[in-house]
Amino acid sequence: MTRPSELPIRIAVLDLNNGEKNLGLGAIKGILSRFSGKFQNTQFECSVFDVRGKGEIPGVDFDIFVSSGGPGSPFDGEGKAWERDYFDLIDRVWRHNQRRVVHGVSAKHVLFICHSFQLMVRHFELAQVAERRSPSFGVFPIHPVGTGFHDPLFAGLTDPFFAADFRHWQVVSKSARHMEDLGAKVIAREKIRPEVRLERAIMAIRVSPELVGVQFHPEADPIGMLKHFEQPERLRKIVEDHGHRKYQRIIGRLDDPQYLAKTYAAVLPNFLHEAIGALRGIREAQVV
């Protein structure tokens, strides 16, 4: 008979790209494939669900959920079935996790990325999701704040660390009441700009020990992104929209291991490390 500790970890990848081609989903799947079997020899059994395009929603029988970024406004789904079902899944995971204290069930772990992060913030009413004055486009510094300095998601990273950040929307003006009700904490904010007299956008929130969301793209693979941005059509589009100087800065940071490579190697693996350790009852799920 197979012992519970020998069963594969079931991971649901929630695809919010609405059918658009992107690097993020492939990068997420690549990280999961590469790390399967490397945490206490635990194998991953992964399934992808096209949430926006096909209305596919997994059950709560999965162990881990990784919810991707996606295009467009975080309000595009208002009143649509897929968004109602997506929010219902979040609620079902939350209720399941509340039972762990009384019934000792294994909690479900969720990572919300970019577009998913904004949806999660909307759903829990943790802060305002507002359109930016100008889009954020590039590789930028992210600063841990508060409990973020000790959050396991950022283990091995410095202050600041750098991440890929491509967004027209931002999370600002946290709701102290709703944050306190859930026990949620802001754990990172965007770069410091002393010359700009505006609130720095929230870049990560720890909702609970199992639920965490980030505004940036931790799955961004510097090598894959470099190849993508060096394509002639992408080069022309970026220079046209953002200027040649911005393009050169992005390429320089993608090519420098001091920037994106460290975040790519840390955040999503750290999330998996913590989730598997908790699911297996192991204090530290050692990577082999």
Domain of 76?
A: 4-131+140-157+168-220+264-279
pTM greater than 0.75 (yes/no): yes
Does any domain span residue 257? no
How many domains is the chain built from? 1
Residue 253 structure tokens: 């940071």
Does any domain span residue 259? no
Residue with tokens 């989730």: 275
Does any domain span residue 81? yes
What is the Cα–Cα distance from 155 to 133, expressed in whole angstroms? 32
Q: Please state whether 24 falls in left (phi above 0), alpha (psi between -120 and 50) or beta.
A: alpha
What is the Cα–Cα distance from 176 to 236, expressed in whole angstroms? 44
CA distances from 48 to 13, 18, 250, 286 (A): 5, 13, 30, 26
Does any domain span residue 227? no
Q: What is the pLDDT along the chain (288 residues), one digit of tens a residue?
A: 455 557 899 999 999 999 998 889 999 999 999 988 887 788 999 999 999 999 999 999 999 999 999 999 999 999 999 999 999 999 999 999 988 765 567 899 999 999 999 999 999 999 999 999 888 888 999 999 999 999 999 999 999 999 999 899 999 999 999 999 999 999 999 998 877 778 899 999 999 999 999 999 999 998 888 888 888 888 888 888 888 888 888 888 888 888 899 999 999 999 999 999 898 875 444 444
